[in-house]
Amino acid sequence: MNVTNVPENDSENLDHPAVGRLLEALPEMSPQLRKAARYVLDNPNDVGVSSIREVAEAAEVTANSLVRMARAAGFEGYEDLRRPFREALRTGRETFPDRARWLQGIARGGRHARLFGQMANMTLENCEQLFSETTAAEIKSAADRIVAARTTYVLGVGISYALAHNFAYLARMALDTVVAVPRDGSLPIDDLARAGPGDVVLAMTFKPYRSEVVDAVVSAGEQGAGLIALSDSRTSPIALLAEQTFVIPTETPQFFTSTVAAAALLETLMAFVVADADDHVIANIDRFHRRRYDLGVYLPDED
């Protein structure tokens, strides 16, 4: 039985000062040191349990590069940097076609039961990791910004398109200020043309990162809009631009990126938005559903 250990305070997650120091120092690092830092940020579990030589080999840098990277971020040395990193996600190394071929091999071998177990296990692990590395304070902070925003633009394309539109659909039952982009037949950058100070962009993209999402986020930021990012790495293109980032575990035995944990985060954020809003929000939701019953959208409840 999987038991999710939710941290009781903000210190028991990866928003340790070490992460902030690495991200702050990243732009000023040389390409080699930046490569080392990216590996540390994206593979904290490996960093926590492996020797410096093993980490250097995995990151394809020298051990001395790891030491210099740590010092460039203000640490005494690599061991000083290493201490905060405990649990973290592992990024897959297989390409999509490789994993698709592996999946077909399972089907030919009649091993669907094994696949079923792997899917169930990875789904639970992704959600457990998400909630163990994210705090209620972080989600409340994002919810506060959404409730207070002039407009919240929820941006997702490809596998994230349905996530973005579902979040906006639910939010609009309570708030009139949340919209999903892109709209049908439109480009994300066009839909964010009027975004500016007082607005928030809730953007999501996962490897391989979508260029139209990054371009739209950059443009909105230049116009003064704030950014909340959902991505699979603290060093993803949108995470590096965001005021707040939620790192989403996306591992799966399938060939595509898992969005189960992303959906769980968005559902939790939606709950916080409702909890954060004024009492009239509950009345808005009640009126929305009453009207749907009155118009016959919903079947009548059975007694």
18-38 average pLDDT score: 89
pLDDT of 82-117, one tens digit each? Answer: 777 644 333 344 455 655 665 666 556 566 777 787
* Residue pair 260/160 in contact by the 8 Å Cβ criterion: no
* Sequence ranges of the chain with CATH classification 1.10.10.10: 17-82
Return the pLDDT at 76.
87
CATH architecture of 136-276: 3-Layer(aba) Sandwich (3.40)
pLDDT of 214-264, one tens digit each? Answer: 999 999 999 999 999 999 999 999 999 999 999 999 988 887 899 999 999
Q: How many residues does the chain have?
A: 303
221/132 Cα distance (integer angstroms): 30
φ/ψ of 203, rounded to 5, equals -110, 150
- CATH ID of 17-82, from 3.50.7.10, 3.40.50.620, 1.10.10.60, 1.10.10.10: 1.10.10.10
DSSP symbol at 135: -
> What mean pLDDT is reported for the chain?
83
Q: Tokens 């959600």 sit at which residue?
A: 127
* Residue pair 44/22 in contact by the 8 Å Cβ criterion: no
DSSP symbol at 221: H
Helix (H, G, I), strand (E, B) or coil at 156: coil
Q: Which residues pair with 180 in a beta bridge?
A: 154
Return the pLDDT at 164.
97
Read off the tokens for 294.
Answer: 């009155």
* Sequence ranges of the chain with CATH classification 3.40.50.10490: 136-276
* Residue pair 134/265 in contact by the 8 Å Cβ criterion: yes
Instruction: List the single range of 42-46, 123-127, 146-150 with lowest mean pLDDT.
Output: 42-46
Q: Fill in the amino acid letter for 230.
A: L
Question: In terms of pLDDT, which residue wins out, 289 or 208?
Answer: 208
pLDDT at 303 over 90: no
48/10 Cα distance (integer angstroms): 20
User: Omega before 27 cis (within 30°)?
Assistant: no
19/44 Cα distance (integer angstroms): 10
* Residue pair 183/154 in contact by the 8 Å Cβ criterion: no
Report the range out of 136-140, 249-253, 284-288 with the highest average pLDDT.
136-140
Return the pLDDT at 1.
35
* Residue pair 232/206 in contact by the 8 Å Cβ criterion: yes
